[in-house]
Each structure stands twice: as structure tokens, then as C-alpha cells.
Amino acid sequence: MSDYILHGRDLQVRYEGRLALAVPEIGIRRGETLAVIGPNGAGKSTLLRILGLLEQPAVGQIMLDSRLVGKGSDLLALRRRFASVFQAPFLIEGTVERNVGLGLRLRRMAPSEVRERTRRWMEQLGIEDLASRQASSLSGGEAQRVSLARAFAIEPDILLLDEPFAALDPLTRENLLRDLQRILHESRVTSVFVTHDRTEAQRLGDRVAVVMDSRVQQVGTPEEVFGRPVSEPVARFVGADNLLAGRVTADREGLLTVNTGSFCVQAFGQIPVGSSVVVCLRPEDLVLGSAPETDSRDSGLNRLPGRVTSLFLTGSQYRAEVDCGHPLVALVAKHSVQALHLAALSEVFVSFKASAAHLIVPQEPEPDVRVALSRRR
């Protein structure tokens, strides 16, 4: 029996003959949050609607609790097991309290239960002081908190979140993200969270699914997806800005040497000598110093001389571009910039561990998914 509460197989969606989504298999485990990330137009929201039974695929199956959702299914009853929160809050006229309790009243719950759950979830979302406020007077962040409280109040089997923070300013977004992270951790409600923001996916997702070009390219834990992307396009999207084509030239009991043409990189792996690879390095894993790092205990430490070509502040860190014969991007803390007196044209050494270098073996183009799916059927 599948360990998925929600499971999709051989899914295809077409709009006016155009293939909008093709997913051989995807599943959500009970109690987990699956974060679905990808660029705009990749098919994330389409996948959410299919999984939430709000839209039917042209081809494929949806299983809920290992039971096929078919033509004879009571879709209305099944949809009542879901709750949805979208980018734009959809609130009715009336007070905050009336909005939070809407789903409970539609389910004809006892007034005492409606009051208890409404009060509890207003407190959880920090809007109890807004209970008597009219919904039309709320700010964007307040309105989204009301939408979330309304969704959690019905205690759904599955919660669907479609870019709920996209329209919020950074401070409001951060406060709401922190509260949602806490609530999901405490409640363990099964959730599918769609976002184009990598930070949101890392903070909320127990697992992450990357959707690009209408296909699910990779599914795994945040550590797997962000640290070990399966392809160059996925690596670029998840923020691995340093991608270097090279060839494995030596293998010392799993410690590989990769010649990139500009310099050699040591990395761990089980890839035959002579293989073409792409060295993938995240900017936060690169360390800048005024002298080469030395540690006789660590034979897998890479040290490269270079020159800073640009340096600018991005958020709480500096983004440094360094020419080491091949341009590399590193994220540097403010205190390190000051301590090293970093500036454009500064001579530096770039250091990173062999374990930080992820190797991608370029894959042959996959066969047309439509052919693959038709063969499976």
C-alpha cells in the first residue's frame, strides 16, 4: 500500500492542444509539507489544481488515501477534505470573525464549536484583536492571516497554498512566514505549498519538488535539492551560481580531480575517470581570504588565487565575483568584507571543501514524455 495520502500518476494537462504539465508520478506523504518551486509559467499552480481536485487532467490518475478519484467519485465531498489559500485573499463582507468561521458554518457545525475553533485560530494567526474589524478595512498581510485562519479552522486533511506571500511587502512576508512555519510544524497538517521563492521552500518544505518546463525535474529534501541538483537548469534555479564544465582526470579512493580548463577541482564522487561533468558550487560555500587556507588534515580543500571583479551588497551579505581564470561567485558576510578590506581588484584566495563541490553528469535528452506515458498505459 502506498505511503502517500495524495498520489498522482501519469498526469498530463493540455490547454488548447499545448502540453502544460506532464508528471509521471508525484506523491505527498501524510503530515508533510511538499514545497513546489519553479519559475513563473512552469506549471506549479496547474499541478496544485490537479492535486486539489479543482481541475481534471487530460490523462492520468489521482489517488486519495490509495483510492482512485474517478468519474464515479463524489468530488464535492472529496474537495471538502481540502482547504486552499491563494495569493489574493478571498474574503466575504463582514467581520474578521465571520470570515474565519465561514467554512465551519458551511459544514453546519455547532455554534459552540464554530466559536471555539474561530477563537483558537485567530489567536494562532495573531488576529484575535481584529475579530470585530470589517474585512474590507484590512491590510494585505492582515487579510492573508484571515485566509490562513479560515483554512486551518476547518482542520483539513490537505492544505493547498498557492504563493500566499507573493503580494506582501518583505517585513509582512517574513513575519507571516515565521508564523506559518511554526503552525505547520506544530499541526503537521499535510500541505502542498507552491512558491517561486527558494527561501520559502527551504524553510517550509519537508520535501521540495522542482517544476520546470511543465515537468517535475527533481523531488527530495531541501538538502538534496539545493545541495545536489540533478541537472544544470535545476542547479541554476536553486541558486548554484557556479557551474563549471570539466572532465574527471584522477580518482584517489573517491576523491576525484576535475580539470575545468582554468583550474583543477577536488570533489568526492563515484564517477569514472575520463567522464565529462559539471562542477556545481553554491556561493555560500565559497570562502574568501587574503592568504590560502591551510589545513594539513584536509586534503580535499580547494584553494584558488583570484581577483575580485565586482562587489555589491545584496540583503545582509555581499556578493563577490572573483576571476580565478573562470568567474566564481561567493557570498561574503559584512564583517569579512571589512576585515579583509575587500574591494574591486583585491587579490584573494577562494577556498571550498571537496564536499561542497557537487558533480553533475550531463544526461542525454529524455524521450518525449508523451511517448513514455503512452507506453506505460
CA dist 263 and 273 (Å) reads 17
Among 193, 197, 190, 236, smallest CA distance to 213 is for 236
Question: pLDDT tens, 182-200?
Answer: 999 999 999 999 999 999 9
Query: What pTM does this model have?
Result: 0.90
Question: pLDDT tens, 290-320?
Answer: 876 555 455 679 999 999 999 999 988 999 9
Helix axes 111-124, 140-153, angle to 10 degrees: 130
CA dist 22 and 256 (Å) reads 36
Per-residue pLDDT at 33 exceeds 60? yes
Query: What cell does 275 get?
Result: 567522464
List all residues 6 or more positions away from 225 whose beta carbon is below 8 Å from its beta carbon: 208, 210, 218, 219, 234, 238
pLDDT average, residue stretch 53-80: 92
Question: pLDDT tens, 96-112?
Answer: 999 999 999 999 999 99
Question: pLDDT tens, 119-147?
Answer: 999 999 999 999 999 999 999 999 999 99
How far, in whole angstroms, is CA 105 from its chain's centroid? 34
Query: Which phi and psi angles does 207 have, rounded to 5°?
Result: -135, 160
What structural domains does the chain harbor?
4-233 (3.40.50.300), 240-360 (2.40.50.100)
Give the position of cell 481584529.
130
Give the position of cell 527530495.
220
Report pLDDT for 301. 92
Report pLDDT for 17. 85
List all residues 6 or more positions away from 312 whose beta carbon is below 8 Å from its beta carbon: 318, 319
- Percent of the chain with pLDDT strictly greater than 70: 94
